[in-house]
Structure 1
Amino acid sequence: MELYFLGTGAGAPSKERNVSAVGLRQPRTGRWWLFDCGEGTQHRMAESPFKWNRLEAVFITHLHGDHVFGLPGLLASRSLLGLTSPLAIFGPSGLRGYLESVFQFTDTHLGFALEVEEIGDGWARTFACGWTVRCGKLCHSVESLGFRVEEPPQPGRFHPDKALALGVEPGPAYARLKRGETVVLPGGRIVAGRDVTDPPRPGRRVVLLGDTEPCTGALTLAEGADLLVHEATFLSRDEPLARRSRHSTAAEAADLARRAKAGKLVITHLSPRYAGRELELLAEARAVFPATEMAIDGSSFRCDPHP
């Protein structure tokens, strides 16, 4: 899994930071999902490794403009490019009406089937790639969601030396044993996958939270995440601004990562008031949770399989 940040600013775009958008790329296939789509996202896509025809789904955390103003344009451009494969979009209530209104008043017609599903707390779906996405309610000035992407358990490491010692010659049988299946040798001997592989490894967990102030819902979603993406709009010295707008400080994001026992925290959604001083936000978060990184536009972060 790889996260690629197309926009990392809050509220309004700046020269250095576009507004919110994150791509999650699937291993080996090049297929990807988009989380939020602020104004200018498709411009950032032109500079990214993502291809239009590999976009499979869009997930919207909430309907504030810095998270959705780029969505109608992205969909219109996808149609103008002649892409006809269906596209699914998931987000909070009101998303369908927003898109329908924009398309109606701009006379926009899409050349592909668009599935818009309005979702809420507790929603979950398992996709064709095997990943399950769960969503939970956060605490913001409008309905805001967080998403937890879960990979299924992965096969344990295969030991060809053990297979050979049991009489299994290299070939197609190895692939079956790697998948955990059972093979029957010419003499009738049965060898099970578990005899030559380590126990299954846990799947990876990537959590992307929408705008939120500290709350139980955020902690529940983030529990045990290998990679957690959390907004860090303000510094602690500006906490009154965070409370007024129902956002989080960098220290609060880090505290949640610590309590959730996350593997790594990536802070994003940084207020333009800190332009040129964003490292203060990173330092504040690292003082609480050392395994913190700060996203910038065009940065990417891998979530590697468990050993």
Structure 2
Amino acid sequence: MEIFFLGTGAGVPAKLRNVTSIVLKLLEERGSIWLFDCGEATQHQILHTSIKPRRIEKIFITHLHGDHIYGLPGLLSSRSFQGGETEVTVYGPKGLRDFIEISLSVSQTYLKYPLSVVEIEPGAIFEDEQFVVETLPLEHGVPSFGYRITEKDRPGSLQADKLAQAGIKPGPIYKKIKNGENTVLEDGTVIVAKDYLGPVQKGRIVTILGDTRKCENAAKLAHQADLLVHEATFSKEEESLAHDYFHSTTHQAAQIAIEAGVKKLCLTHISSRYDREASKQLLLEAQELFPKTDIAEDFKEFEIPMQKQDM
């Protein structure tokens, strides 16, 4: 599992930073990628990477400001010409369906794959055997949401050597045990799966927030997260300006990370007023309060390692 930043700027494209788009790579976990926001030129940014649009399974839109959605119609259209045949589900605030349907209709775009649009409400919006995605509203000038992606715990690794010592030969029974199923042998012996599995692998938690002021729901979504992606549009001295424009400062992002008890914070949505050197100062500001902070840059990737197993 990795987070890859396609765009990390705020408001308008800039030389150093394109507008917002974030990829959650789940290639090992499910052979797909999830996209969070799709600002203008997102598909052009993808051309400079190894990302395959046909692998996009889900797109999560935080809010309907242009710097977060203007690249969406183009990306959805181009995917048809890039081998995309599997269904894509797009999640986002009320109004997203109209934006997509009207854009595709007026441009007479035909998609070669199924497209579903889910206009979200607070709470769990997706769950399968691997992941749960939850959302809550944030504080912005328009309805803006944050997403909490929770990976479900995995069974421990199969202890094949221990099974062999017990005289249990490889076969379908190994798969059942790996899946945590107790099994009865032909002689009536009951094999308790947990006795032949290593410690449970704890699932990871990633929180990706849309544009927001510092607010309670941001901390709720980020509770104990392995990685929090939080906007830091302004420096710590610009708290009044950040409030007026419904954004956050570096210190406010760090304060949320502390309140939520996250393992790592990554700042993004950086105003174009900050050049490369000034961006380094933004990072230092956040690290004053929360040392385990990094700052996103276009085409920068962060690995999200598995948690240590319970003993």
By how many angstroms is 1:53 displaced?
1.3
> 1:286: which partner in 2?
287
> 1:144: which partner in 2?
144
Aligned residues: 306
> 1:119: which partner in 2?
120
Tell whether 2:131 aligns with 1:131: yes
Which deviates more from structure 2 when the two are superposed, residues 152-161 or residues 61-70?
152-161
Please, what TM-score do these two structures have when normalized by structure 1? Answer: 0.93
> 1:10: which partner in 2?
10
Task: Work out the percentage of aligned pairs sharing the same amino acid.
Answer: 44
Which deviates more from structure 2 when the two are superposed, residues 78-87 or residues 205-214?
78-87
By how many angstroms is 1:112 displaced?
2.9
* Pairs within 5 Å for 1:182-221: 182-185=182-185, 187-221=187-221
- Whether the aligned pair in 1 keeps the contact of 2:213 and 2:243 (CA below 8 Å) is yes
> 1:247: which partner in 2?
247
- Whether the aligned pair in 2 keeps the contact of 1:150 and 1:203 (CA below 8 Å) is yes
Which deviates more from structure 2 when the two are superposed, residues 227-236 or residues 75-84?
75-84
Distance 1:72 1:112 in 2: 14
- Whether the aligned pair in 2 keeps the contact of 1:5 and 1:22 (CA below 8 Å) is yes
Residue-by-residue CA offset, 1:209-257 (whole Å, 9 max, x unaligned): 1011111111111111111111111111111210111111111111111
Distance 2:81 2:54 in 1: 12
Runs of 5+ unmatched residues, structure 2? none
Tell whether 2:76 aligns with 1:75: yes
Distance 2:156 2:84 in 1: 39
CA RMSD of aligned residues (A): 1.9
By how many angstroms is 1:181 displaced?
1.9
Which deviates more from structure 2 when the two are superposed, residues 141-150 or residues 112-121?
112-121
SS in 2 for 1:247: coil
Tell whether 2:57 aligns with 1:56: yes
By how many angstroms is 1:32 displaced?
0.6
- Whether the aligned pair in 1 keeps the contact of 2:54 and 2:82 (CA below 8 Å) is no
SS in 1 for 2:86: coil
Which deviates more from structure 2 when the two are superposed, residues 182-191 or residues 68-77?
182-191
- Whether the aligned pair in 1 keeps the contact of 2:214 and 2:252 (CA below 8 Å) is yes
Which deviates more from structure 2 when the two are superposed, residues 73-82 or residues 264-273?
73-82
Residues 51, 82 of structure 1: alpha-carbon distance in 2 compared, 3 angstrom cutoff: closer
Residue-by-residue CA offset, 1:115-141 (whole Å, 9 max, x unaligned): 1111121242114x6211111111111
Distance 1:171 1:264 in 2: 42
By how many angstroms is 1:163 displaced?
2.9
Residues 161, 83 of structure 1: alpha-carbon distance in 2 compared, 3 angstrom cutoff: closer
